[in-house]
Amino acid sequence: MNKEERKGIPLLGEEFPEINVLTTHGLMSLPQAYKGKWFVLFSHPADFTPVCTTEFYAFQVKYPEFRKLNCELIGLSVDQVFSHIKWVEWIKEKLNIEIEFPIIADTGEVAEKLGLIHPKKGTNTVRAVFVVDPEGKIRVILYYPQELGRNIDEILRIIEGIQISDKNRVAMPANWPNNELIKDKVIIPPANSIKLAKERLEKAKAGEFECYDWWFCYKKLEK
């Protein structure tokens, strides 16, 4: 079954579905609108709700950091566009911050394509996060229940980590850049032959990188 036929949650590595959406910034075509950039599409259950308001405030505070990573933000819920507009106005008036990124007024089409409506949650969208690369491919998918607000720093960490991994062909350890074993160093992909395994240990002895064993080698990235 190809991706046009299959419904529900997409798979990592698939292309983000082509769709035209109405937003607080006007009509947009995804993923074409962000061609050449990373973007994060995140859904929220509803406007004028406490947890969602704290999330939008937090996303806006961190928006400059996303832009430094060549990444844009776009929100979404199954609310009409006038509701989004009034909510954004309320946030600016009451919380003294202006939401600069667009919010999709979903009719249910996007929610269906991305699997955003979960059982026993009514018609509200869950807190989903889709990280999409400059080629329009989905690289990360996160799903949170309605009761749990997202950690925006973790989403930033995800984008930065994937960009570093893509550029340097390395893997990122748990809690990077504050890993308990290797701190901010990155993991070299495991050797896939006996010859390469021996070479790894020899290079480690020569100081080119460090290894716990031939299958667990790591290094400091040059700035």
Give the pLDDT confidence score for residue 111 in this predicted structure: 85
- How is the chain split among helix, strand and coil, in percent rounded to 5? 30, 25, 45
Q: What is the pLDDT of residue 1?
A: 41
The sign of the dihedral angle between the CA atoms of 164, 176, 70, 110 is: positive
Is the separation of the CB atoms in 41 and 127 below 8 Å? no
CA dihedral 43, 45, 48, 49 (to 10 degrees): -120
- Rounded CA-CA distance 83/189 in Å is 48
- CA 150, CA 212: separation in Å to the nearest integer? 34
Q: Beta-carbon neighbour count of residue 177 at 10 Å? A: 16
Task: Tell which residue, 9, 41, 28, 14, has the closest CA to residue 135.
Answer: 14
Which of the residues in the chain have pLDDT under 50? 1-4
Give me the pLDDT at residue 8, please: 67
Catalogue the active-site residues: 52
Task: For each of the domains in the chain, give its residue range(s) and CATH number, in order of start.
Answer: 19-160 (3.40.30.10), 169-223 (3.30.1020.10)
Rounded Cα distance, 139 and 136, in Å: 9
Structure tokens at 166: 């893509």
DSSP 3-state of 167: helix
In this structure, what token pair is assigned to residue 36? 């050449």
